[in-house]
Structure 1
C-alpha cells in the first residue's frame, strides 16, 4: 500500500480475506484518475513485487487501464478508474459491513 500512496493512488482500501477466500490473504482496491495512471500504478506494483519479493505477478486488464487485476499470490490488487470502481463496487462484496466506508 505504501507504493500506491507514494504514486498518488486514491481511495486505497485493504481487505482481509483470510477465512473468507482461498484465493489470497488480502485484497487491495485503489483508484487512479485516468487509464494512464491506472496502468502506471500497475507497472509500479508489478515491478516492486518482482524486485523486492521475487514474485512474478499475473496481470489482467493492463492494456485497457480501466480495471487492472494484479495477482501476487497472497495479495490481490484491483486498480480502477473511479467510474469503473463505482460501477462494480467490488469492495462491498468482500468487506465486513462494519468496515465499509460510510456514504
Structure 2
C-alpha cells in the first residue's frame, strides 16, 4: 500500500514557529478562497497607502450559507497556520463578513451587498498615491 504525499499547499501546510509575513497570509487567503469557490476575488495592495494592512481581499459567496462557510473555513485555516489575533465581524448574518488577519483584511460579501458598498472601487480610487494594485483571482 503506497502512502500519499502530504498536501503542503498554502491552505494546508503545517504550522511552523515562524510568524507568517503578509505575502504568506495573502497566499493562504487566496488559496482557501479558491478551494471554497469564492467568486470575483480581488486583492488590493495597500502598502504605502494606509497603515491598516498590507493587503485587502474582497470576495463574494453565492448566498448567506456560502459566505458563512467560506469565512469559517478561512478563519480555521488562518488559525491552523498560526496567524494570531484573527478577528471576525459579521456572523451570524453573513451578508458581509470581515476577517482581520493583521496584515491582510478580507471582506466576504453576498453579491448584492458587495455591489451596494463597492469597497474595492473606494480603495482602488481613493487611496493617496494613486490607485491600489488590483489583482483578480
* TM-score calculated relative to the size of structure 2: 0.69
The structure carrying a bigger helix percent of its residues is 1
Aligned match for 2:68, one of 19, 39, 43: 39
C-alpha displacement at 1:56, in angstroms?
A: 3.3
Aligned match for 1:74, one of 103, 106, 109: 103
Per-residue deviation, residues 7-57 of structure 1 (Å, max 9, x unmatched): 100000000010111111000000000010001000011011100133231
Aligned twin of 1:24: 53
* TM-score calculated relative to the size of structure 1: 0.91
Query: Unmatched 5+ residue regions in structure 1?
Result: none
RMSD (Å) for aligned C-alpha atoms: 1.8
CA pair 97-78 structure 1, distance change in 2 beyond 3 A: closer
- Whether 1:51 and 2:76 are equivalent positions in the alignment is no
Structure with max Cα Rg:
2
- How many residues of Structure 1 are paired with residues of Structure 2 in the alignment? 101
Structure-2 separation of matches of 1:46 and 1:36: 15
Per-residue deviation, residues 71-94 of structure 1 (Å, max 9, x unmatched): 010000000000000000000011
Aligned twin of 1:64: 93
C-alpha displacement at 1:99, in angstroms?
A: 4.6
